[in-house]
Amino acid sequence: MAYLKRSVLLSGAITGVRFAVKSYEPSLMPRSGIDQGLITGGSFLTGFLAGAVSGRLVRFIPFFGSSSGLRLAGLATAGIRSAEMLRAQLDPEDAPHSETAGWVEMGGEIIGSLTLSGLAAEATTPFGKLTTAAAVAMGSATDVQSALSHRDDEPDARYILTSIGIAAGLNAAVAGLAGVVYLGARLPRRLSSSRGTGLVLSIVGGVATIGVLGVAMRVAGSRTLAGIEASNAQTEIAYATAPDASTVSGSTFSLAGYDTLGLQGRRLVSEITPPDAFVDVMGAPSVSDPVRTYVGMDSAISQDDRLELAIQEFRRAGGFDKSLIIAASPAGTGYVNYIAIEAAELMAMGNVATIAVQYGGLPSMLSMNRIEGATALYAELLVRLRDEIERLGRDITLVAYGESLGALTSQNGVSLASDVDELIIDAALWVGTPYGSPLFETLTEQEGTVVYDNYDHYLDSADPAQPGPRITFLNHDNDPVTKFTPADAYRMPQWLEPVNRGRGTNPYQRWLPGIALWQGLIDTKNAATVIPGEFYSTGHDYRADLAQFIRLAYGFTNVSDDQMVRIEERLRASEVRRSEAIDQGRVGS
């Protein structure tokens, strides 16, 4: 029994190490040593569980569970693995890119770990055990070197040591929690000398301990989320004073108090494009003042009340007097991309109105439970806007804008508000759509709507004789937000099947079960690391593409290339100024 226990724990440890070293392989985004440590720690834990469970189960398989059977399987696995590694080193196009190959490789790692753990457990001398450790170390060092050689960010020794330290700390914390559960189950068993009663007490103790830990973690998580949401309601020094313009929410003319708009709302309404910008950038005065209507979470008690307030406020500000209405669905924090709105205001010469209603105050990754409510809110907003446009009988173009989670909720809302044969909107620009949007899949897979990686992609594929697309999708080829799903843990995504996955991707990136989940989570976290004023077209950073796609999606065909150059310069300068304002800090901090 002791031999079996040692063998199982050892097989788990070796498999964990094998999974951990493969976690250094390239993925979509560069990552820091700390991020790598989180991926490595998660991969080790996954491998440990896979190896330990397999070590238990394999003993019940005839012949294969015997020592000789495991040795033969381990030898065969090592040979296959060496051949595949050689092929991958020589040319990534020769490396297998399939779900089966991923499962076979990780299955082979488990079998190899079972073999080595069995040999180590059977060894009667220190030399035998040392031989097993050396085999694991040599194979792991080779794999780490191979993985790092295919990375674009060239990690150094400090990077590796940092990642190992973080991974060790993470798994120590997990082991500590497991130890607490073990004690919670073990201690009650000593209260009874009866084997049956002791077993019952042990189960009850273990379940109770898990329950207490779960409640504690839930309370801690709730407090953390509440703190994050509260921070998004704080007032910044640079945006402490309400704007003067009557065409924006939060002004002295507004039905929505400035203090109720939240951090993102106050930034948006305070950054409306000023009159002098139109002369400087577009070469002529604006035809009218643009409208920005924003209603925050604190602007009204219920979602219905916030929607009603938004329509009334939009009407008051003159939104229905404009030729173009942009219905924007915010991201999770309430953020509406200032760059997109400023670009549209410049191109429309001020003859445009933007409206947005906040549905939450948490980052998009933490707002998935609010998608249903946000969808219903946006759908009803579109219905109210369309009804008002038809009632007024004016020539007003209604367009949708959404980015990141806002793209998903906007698409869901459009689907909900539209008839079967006709969309409720006249046009849409959806940027960085997260994986899993039904409308995205319908339009792209069934109706052939093109998904553009950047503006050059559009120019290469567009027919100059045809009008611009009514529905415009902008997704970077290397944007993790548009690709990641928790199902990546056990299912290979289609985009990884070809070697050439598009601009900014790595041909050596592979799908490996149990590792892809951790890489995807960290990639998504790192998808939009930006420098103010420096626009790049990569990952979830769409600033370099937005102006051109605003012109394309919303039909600003009269905007010249020279004007576009000045618009781009203005947008970069605006972001630097806005960043400097944000850096002043918050009131009371």
Q: Are residues 143 and 281 in the same domain?
A: no
223 inside domain: no
578 inside domain: yes
Q: Are residues 455 and 330 in the same domain?
A: yes
pLDDT for residue 83 is more than 60: no
Nearest to 331 by CA among 297, 367, 300, 296: 367
pLDDT (average), residues 232-259 = 94
Average of per-residue pLDDT values in the chain: 88
Please tell me the distance from the alpha carbon of residue 372 to that of residue 363, in angstroms, as a whole number. Answer: 16
Q: Are residues 250 and 385 in the same domain?
A: yes
Please tell me the distance from the alpha carbon of residue 160 to that of residue 571, in angstroms, as a whole number. Answer: 39
Q: Are residues 432 and 511 in the same domain?
A: no
CB < 8 Å & 24+ apart, contacts of 148-154? 148/24, 150/25, 150/26, 150/506, 150/508, 151/24, 151/25, 151/26, 151/506, 152/26, 152/30, 152/506, 153/30, 153/31
65 against 269, higher pLDDT: 269
Confidence at 188, pLDDT banded by 50, 70, 90 = confident
Phi, psi of 361 (to 5 degrees): -130, 20
pLDDT (average), residues 45-56 = 88
pLDDT for residue 529 is more than 70: yes
pLDDT (average), residues 384-410 = 96
Least confident of 7-16, 130-139, 275-284: 130-139
- The pTM assigned to this predicted structure is 0.90
Q: Are residues 353 and 500 in the same domain?
A: no
Range of the structural domain that residue 305 is part of: 232-479+527-582
Q: Are residues 433 and 322 in the same domain?
A: yes
pLDDT for residue 7 is more than 80: no
142 inside domain: yes
pLDDT (average), residues 237-263 = 95
pLDDT for residue 79 is more than 60: no
Q: Are residues 296 and 341 in the same domain?
A: yes
In this prediction, residue 96 carries a pLDDT of: 54
pLDDT for residue 112 is more than 90: no
In this prediction, residue 78 carries a pLDDT of: 52
Q: Are residues 404 and 305 in the same domain?
A: yes
Q: Are residues 307 and 369 in the same domain?
A: yes
Q: Are residues 411 and 538 in the same domain?
A: yes
In this prediction, residue 122 carries a pLDDT of: 61
Q: Which residues contact 558 (CB under 8 A, 6 or more apart)?
A: none
Confidence at 65, pLDDT banded by 50, 70, 90 = very low
Beta strands in 146-290 (DSSP E): none
pLDDT (average), residues 60-80 = 52
Confidence at 57, pLDDT banded by 50, 70, 90 = confident
138: amino acid identity, one letter: M
SS3 401: strand
Phi, psi of 433 (to 5 degrees): -65, 120
- The count of structural domains within the chain is 2
pLDDT (average), residues 501-512 = 93
C-alpha dihedral (87, 89, 95, 100), degrees to nearest 10: 90
201 inside domain: no
Cα 329 to the chain's mean position, in Å? 17
For 301-354, how does the pLDDT look when each residue is reduced to its tens digit (9 = 90+)?
Answer: 999 999 999 999 999 999 999 999 999 999 999 999 999 999 999 999 999 999
Token representation of residue 496: 């990884």
pLDDT (average), residues 399-419 = 96
CB burial of 320-347 (b: ≥16 within 10 Å; e: otherwise) equals bebebbbbbbbbbbbbbbbbbbbbbbbb
505 inside domain: yes
pLDDT (average), residues 172-178 = 91
255 inside domain: yes
305 inside domain: yes
In this prediction, residue 43 carries a pLDDT of: 96
316 inside domain: yes
In this prediction, residue 87 carries a pLDDT of: 52
Q: Are residues 126 and 253 in the same domain?
A: no
In this prediction, residue 260 carries a pLDDT of: 95
pLDDT for residue 63 is more than 50: no
For 430-458, how does the pLDDT look when each residue is reduced to its tens digit (9 = 90+)?
Answer: 999 999 999 999 999 988 899 999 999 99
Highest mean pLDDT among 24-28, 102-106, 419-423: 24-28
In this prediction, residue 53 carries a pLDDT of: 87
Least confident of 27-31, 123-127, 409-413, 427-431: 123-127
Q: Are residues 283 and 429 in the same domain?
A: yes
